Each structure stands twice: as structure tokens, then as C-alpha cells.
Chain A
Amino acid sequence: MTNPRTLYTKIWDDHVVEQRDDGTALMWIDRHLIHEVTTPQAFEGLRLAGRTLHRPDLTLAVPDHNVPTDHRFEPIADPQSALQVETLTANCAEFGVEMIELNAAAQGIVHVIGPEQGFTLPGTTLVCGDSHTATHGALGSLAFGIGTTEVEHVFATQTLLLKQSSSMEVRVTGSLGYSISAKDVALAIVGALGTAGGTGSVIEYTGDVIAALSIEGRMTVCNMAIEAGARAGLVAPDAKAFEYLRGRPRSPAGAEWDAAVAYWRTLPSDAGATYDRVVTIDGSAIAPLVTWGTSPEDVVAITGVVPSPDSFADASKRLAAAKSLDYMGLAPGTRLEDVVVENIFIGSCTNSRIEDLRAAAAVARGRHVASGIRQALVVPGSGLVKLQAEAEGLDRIFIEAGFDWRAPGCSMCLGMNPDKVPAGERCASTSNRNFVGRQGPGSRTHLLSPAMAVAAAVTGRLTDVRELMA
């Protein structure tokens, strides 16, 4: 009898090409997603060394980071952005990589399209030159972000040299309260672990709350694993995962589907498997959360107040908090509900899938964006999400409420395309990072859920969505 193994160890074991004496292993990579920002230098490296791309059939490309979300059928105005997208197109043609073109219906954020296309599958190793690759862990794929040199390594060999990470179980128990979403769970976890709490680990999310979440909700939770410093986040594949994948354009079909499901059923952690660390979070106690500072761990309940730097035990935390508050233009003791915002962003690979848009539309229906709001963007994660939302009439709800309904892309999640938060202004954002300057130089970000973003849009300040929906 073999020892009980975790999901992570099972996936790891099945991908070892060669174990080396120094503790590293050459690991096979099943899936490689690429976008325009972190690949040009990797293709450049292949070309310079006269190497070919080993398995183009396992590589899928899509432009997303610096594509404009309006005037989509005109040439990209920013010459550098245009050059990156053109470079991706030319490289994919040269090396035989399948690319979802900018104006294809299926184009979207790389972490939205992977699962949506059925390219992401349980029990696979999946990499992408992007730190939010952990998103795909929601389907039980060991998915992690890599740098450009590693992208080049995967191009040339379809493998990576890796060391096994430690394992951590994050168990979210109980059941979520009214209007509490997967995003609140994600923020609660980052708040509890801190931005370095998961360093060196692969997290497996377990517990009743995770089991009850939809696949899309699990994606939101896994998406922010990196915000706790973890290498990857995983959820054991279950019937929901199989149902989610059935019939997708790049999912297996027929006899291969049946064989795949049989394999996927063997993946969940065995009873008695142990983790290096276990953290338990009471899901029933999670309130709608927002961030107050410039680190994703700076979370507080919407009903709370901006903390005082003095409330932190650690000296470096006190210093960081004081700097954060200065940057954010917030005074300790301010009620979060009194914080006025000027910008709203609903989108990003954290919260731009159909369920996110449905949750946002449910709050937006029959309400209107407040007069002080300068920009209120709703940016679907992919063209297919956009079409689905339009078929359900969600676009009408948003437009009637005064939101701007855009074409898919990373948009205001990062200050790399035309969608930016002006310096000194605040944004209630469903994205995953509130770093200094993340949404544009001088931008101030408050992370929250899609429903909470709409609540902020209609009142013009951070607002407890439960009050609106009561």
C-alpha cells in the first residue's frame, strides 16, 4: 500500500521526467498559456539560439494585458502596445503557436480563457508568464506563474527544473453569510495569512465553504493565492469541475473524456494525507471586506475603520502602515463607509466571469451610478463572457445604471493600457492588487467584490452591499 498523498503530490509525481540528485526535478509541463507582455524576449532567446518550440500543440496564445477596451476595431493607438501585440502575432506564426486573435470572439484575459476553452484541465501542470496563473488551480491544475527565462525553457523543452514546494491546507469552514462572495473569501485568506504567509507553499483550499463555491468562485480564491505569497493554489477536482469542463472547445471528448474523468477522480488528496501546515478560517465569520492600504493583506470589514499604524505589533508593519495611509490619503479611525471614491472597476482575472457580472448586475439593476463617479467600467473577462452577458441582458442593466460596458482585457487592473485611475483618485476595484501605482501613477485602490464595487458606484463611497440589498 502506498502512503496517503495530497492532490499536490499526486500531480507532482505524475509529472517528474527525471529526479536529480540536487533535489530538483525536471518536470513536464502539460499546458502553456502565453500573452504579449512576458513572451517577446523568450521568443527572441529561441531565435538567437536557433532553437525550435518543442510542443506548439500544448501552447495557446492570447493578447490581453495592453489591449484597449474600447475602439477595438481600430489600430491600437499606443505604439509600444501595438508593437507587443504585433510581435506576439508574428512570433506565433513563426513558431506555429495557436493564437486567439485580438478581435476573435474568444479573446480575453489569459486566466479567463484557459478554463473557458477547456485548455485548463485537472491534474495538469500549467504555466504562464503571469503571477495570477494560480487561478487555474480551481480546476485542480497545478498552475503557477513563471518568468520569461522559464517561458523560454518551456518553449524549448516543455519542461521546467523545479523543487517541490511545501504544502499548506487552507480550510475554510462553515458557510458564507448573505451577500458574501468568493472575493471576500479570497481577501479573508490573504488577510489571515499575510502577503508572505504562503511563501514557498502550494496551498490546497478545502472545507465546506470551498466545496460549496462554484468553479468560478474557486477561481477567484485561487487567483489570489499569489497575494499570500504562495506558489500555487489548488482545489480538488469534483463533479462540479467535470461539469464545468464538459463540452468546452478544447476539452477532451468521447472516449478520451471518459478516460480523463476516470483519471481525474483519482486526484483528490487521500484520507490521512498530511500537509506541512494547516490554517483554518471560519467562513461563517467573513464579512464583506475591503482593503485600506497598499498591500492586499490590508483587509478590513466594510463595517470597520481604517486602522492606526500603532495597532501593529511589528515595527516594520507600523512603518509600512503609516506610509500606506499617507499614500492612500486616509486618516486612522476613518470609517470605511465614509471613504469617497471616484472610479469603479469591475473586471480582471479575479472577477470578470459571468457569475461576477451577474452578481454585480443584481445590485446595479434599477439603481444609478452616483454623480461624483468619474469612471465606472465593467470589463468582461473574455469575448464569450461578454456575449453571454449580453444574451442575458446584463449589458443593458449596466448601461442604464450609468456604467461603461467595455471589450475584454486586463483593463484597469494594471496601468498598462489606456484604462487608468488618475493620480490622487480612488478606485473601488474588483482586481487583486492595490500596490502603489498599480492602476496608474498615484492611483489609490480599494479591493473588494463585484457586488461591493457596484454598491460603491451607486452611493459614491465604500458601502456595505448588505444595506442596499436588505
Chain B
Amino acid sequence: MTPFHTVTGIAVPFGAANVDTDVIIPSRFLKTVTRSGLGASAFDVIRSDPGNIFDTPRNSGAPILIAGDNFGCGSSREHAPWALADMGFRVVIAPSFADIFSGNAYKNGLVLVELPQEQIDRLMSVAADADITVDLENQVVTTEYQDRFAFAVDPFRKAALLSGQDEIGLTLTMAPAIERYETRIADERPWLAGAAARRF
């Protein structure tokens, strides 16, 4: 995972609410066995219109996306953050995000910033002609017009995003605790082991 510090750049003022994962990456593009290359198919339906907001010369490859309420609702597909990252996005700013999407996004180094709707509206209008800065370290979104919007972020996720640390590696440092737990449940709930094999 690439460490994330501060991103300054163009923000696509998309703004739509309840954008589900089928809109971000329709299921017919999920038939891949690798993680890269999904950006070309992202927002497929919207981008079939040549005048769409994502493919203008200015917005194409922009690092920041501004969206509406409940962004990423729908399925658990991690292809959604992969597709967004493959399009070039490093940050999505919205009033709220769907649960599973938000877990998936952070695990892939995509930063989600929750701001109230009025501040989103303000950023949408600024984004039309000015860059936006997202500073994760200081948890603040700023613009050259002196806007300064603080946002909350889970400390654990923040640390992981800033260091670009691999979560599996971190968990494997807790291997002794895992082993103790396994020994205990093998005794307390013996019926749980060997589940995948047919027993009769």
C-alpha cells in the first residue's frame, strides 16, 4: 500500500447520492483474476455519455472525487475501490459512506473523508475551478479560498494509511495470541474443527 500524506489536486464534483457499487463497477466487469485495470470500466453507464464529468480533459485522472450521501452502498465487491484507485482517485469526499465499502477503501489506501452536506456543497462549487487539498495527518480539507474543514478518521485506519502498512503483517505479529485462542477453542468447542470435510 502506498503511504498517504497530503493530496492536492483536482476534485471531480460528482455529487450524486446513493451511488451503489454496481454504478461504480458493474458486475459484468468483475470477471478478472488480478487487481489492476478496472479503471477503464468504472462508472461505465455514466461514462457512455461522451460529455460525462469523469472524462473531461480537466477531470480525467483527478485524485479527488466528491460524492453524495451513502456512497458505495450495495455489494461487498472490492473491485469498487480498485476501480476508483485505477482511475487515479486517492480520496473520496462525501457526507456518508456505506460500511463495507469504507472498510474496503481504506484497506486499499483510498482515503474517505466525511463532511457535512453544506461543506460538500461548498467544495463542489470550489472544485469547478480550483484545487482541493486533503491533509490526512492534520485531518483537514483546505482550499485556496481559506476554506478549512476538519474531518474525523479512525486512529487505527489513519495510522495504517499514513504508514502504508500491510494489515496481515500486523496481525501475524499477534500469532501467539491466535495460537492460544485456537488451543482453547479446540477444547471448548471441539465440533468447530475440520468443518470443511464431509463427516458422513
Chain A contacts to B: CB under 8 angstroms: 17-18, 20, 22-24, 26, 28, 30-31, 37-38, 40-41, 44, 49, 51, 56-60, 66, 78, 80-81, 83-84, 87, 97-98, 119, 121, 124, 129-131, 133, 145-150, 152-153, 156-159, 161, 195-196, 199-200, 229, 231, 249-253, 256-257, 259-260, 263, 295, 316, 319-320, 414-416, 433, 435-438, 441
In the assembled complex, which residues on chain A have CB atoms less than 8 Å from the CB atom of B20? 435
Q: Are A438 and B22 closer than 8 Å at their CB atoms? A: yes
**Nearest A residue to B172 by beta-carbon distance?**
A157
Q: Are B107 and A17 closer than 8 Å at their CB atoms? A: no
Q: Least Cβ distance of B6 to chain A in Å?
A: 23
In the assembled complex, which residues on chain A have CB atoms less than 8 Å from the CB atom of B104? 147-150
Which B residues, 69 to 111, have Cβ-Cβ distances below 8 Å to chain A? 69-70, 73-78, 81, 96, 98-100, 103-104, 107-108
8 contacts between A and B (CB under 8 A): A51-B168, A147-B103, A148-B78, A157-B168, A157-B178, A195-B18, A251-B199, A320-B18
In the assembled complex, which residues on chain A have CB atoms less than 8 Å from the CB atom of B154? 22
State in angstroms the CA–CA spacing of A148 and B194 once bound together: 24
**Nearest B residue to A442 by beta-carbon distance?**
B45
State in angstroms the CA–CA spacing of A17 and B171 once bound together: 11
In the assembled complex, which residues on chain A have CB atoms less than 8 Å from the CB atom of B76? 38, 129-131, 133, 145-147
State in angstroms the CA–CA spacing of A81 and B104 once bound together: 24
Q: Are B197 and A57 closer than 8 Å at their CB atoms? A: yes
Q: Least Cβ distance of B172 to chain A in Å?
A: 6
Q: Are B191 and A252 closer than 8 Å at their CB atoms? A: yes
In the assembled complex, which residues on chain A have CB atoms less than 8 Å from the CB atom of B96? 196, 199
Q: Least Cβ distance of A468 to chain B in Å?
A: 33
| Given A260-B191, A435-B20, A80 contacting B31 (CB threshold 8 A) | yes
State in angstroms the CA–CA spacing of A6 and B91 once bound together: 37
| Given A124-B192, A437-B22, A414 contacting B171 (CB threshold 8 A) | no
Q: Are A66 and B171 closer than 8 Å at their CB atoms? A: no
In the assembled complex, which residues on chain B have CB atoms less than 8 Å from the CB atom of A56? 196
Q: Among B178, B185, B189, B190, which residue has its beta carbon within 8 angstroms of that of A159? A: B178
Q: Are B26 and A156 closer than 8 Å at their CB atoms? A: no
Which B residues, 22 to 64, have Cβ-Cβ distances below 8 Å to chain A? 22-23, 26-28, 30-35, 45
| Given A17-B178, A259-B191, A415-B28, A60 contacting B156 (CB threshold 8 A) | no
Q: Are A38 and B78 closer than 8 Å at their CB atoms? A: yes
Which B residues, 159 to 200, have Cβ-Cβ distances below 8 Å to chain A? 166-168, 171-172, 174, 177-178, 181-182, 185, 189-200
In the assembled complex, which residues on chain A have CB atoms less than 8 Å from the CB atom of B28? 415-416, 441
Q: Least Cβ distance of A202 to chain B in Å?
A: 11
Tally of contact residues, B, Cβ under 8 A:
59
Q: Least Cβ distance of B125 to chain A in Å?
A: 18
Q: Are A18 and B103 closer than 8 Å at their CB atoms? A: no
Q: Among A147, A200, A416, which residue has its beta carbon within 8 angstroms of that of B27? A: A416
Among the interface residues B26, B73, B76, which one has the most CB atoms of the partner chain A within 10 A? B76
Q: Among B155, B181, B190, which residue has its beta carbon within 8 angstroms of that of A28? A: B181
| Given A57-B193, A195-B73, A17 contacting B181 (CB threshold 8 A) | yes
In the assembled complex, which residues on chain A have CB atoms less than 8 Å from the CB atom of B77? 38, 131, 147
State in angstroms the CA–CA spacing of A199 and B95 once bound together: 14
How would you classify the secondary structure of chain B's contact residues: helix, strand, loop or mixed?
A: loop
| Given A18-B174, A131-B100, A415 contacting B27 (CB threshold 8 A) | yes
Q: Are A436 and B45 closer than 8 Å at their CB atoms? A: yes
Q: Are A145 and B100 closer than 8 Å at their CB atoms? A: yes
| Given A56-B196, A149-B104, A158 contacting B178 (CB threshold 8 A) | yes
**Interface pairs A-B: 9 shortest CB-CB:** A252-B191, A147-B78, A80-B31, A145-B76, A40-B33, A147-B104, A98-B196, A256-B191, A131-B76
Q: Least Cβ distance of B163 to chain A in Å?
A: 14
Q: Least Cβ distance of B84 to chain A in Å?
A: 13
Q: Are B156 and A22 closer than 8 Å at their CB atoms? A: yes
State in angstroms the CA–CA spacing of A199 and B74 once bound together: 12
State in angstroms the CA–CA spacing of A59 and B23 once bound together: 31
The verdict on B17 contacting chain A, using a C-beta distance below 8 Å, is yes
Q: Least Cβ distance of A39 to chain B in Å?
A: 9
Q: Are B177 and A44 closer than 8 Å at their CB atoms? A: no
State in angstroms the CA–CA spacing of A157 and B168 once bound together: 8
In the assembled complex, which residues on chain B have CB atoms less than 8 Å from the CB atom of A438? 22, 27
Q: Are A37 and B73 closer than 8 Å at their CB atoms? A: no
Q: Least Cβ distance of B34 to chain A in Å?
A: 7
State in angstroms the CA–CA spacing of A60 and B182 once bound together: 19
Q: Are A253 and B200 closer than 8 Å at their CB atoms? A: yes
State in angstroms the CA–CA spacing of A58 and B200 once bound together: 17
Q: Mark B4-24, 1 if CB is under 8 A from A, else 0.
A: 000000000000011010110
In the assembled complex, which residues on chain A have CB atoms less than 8 Å from the CB atom of B103? 146-147, 150
Q: Least Cβ distance of B186 to chain A in Å?
A: 11
State in angstroms the CA–CA spacing of A49 and B20 once bound together: 32
Q: Least Cβ distance of A331 to chain B in Å?
A: 22
Q: Among B73, B191, B195, B200, which residue has its beta carbon within 8 angstroms of that of A196? A: B73
In the assembled complex, which residues on chain B have CB atoms less than 8 Å from the CB atom of A18? 174, 177
State in angstroms the CA–CA spacing of A264 and B127 once bound together: 55
Q: Are A57 and B178 closer than 8 Å at their CB atoms? A: no
State in angstroms the CA–CA spacing of A23 and B191 once bound together: 30
Q: Least Cβ distance of A64 to chain B in Å?
A: 13
In the assembled complex, which residues on chain B have CB atoms less than 8 Å from the CB atom of A59? 196
| Given A147-B107, A149-B108, A229-B73, A81 contacting B18 (CB threshold 8 A) | no
Q: Are A149 and B78 closer than 8 Å at their CB atoms? A: yes
State in angstroms the CA–CA spacing of A30 and B22 once bound together: 30
Q: Are B70 and A98 closer than 8 Å at their CB atoms? A: no
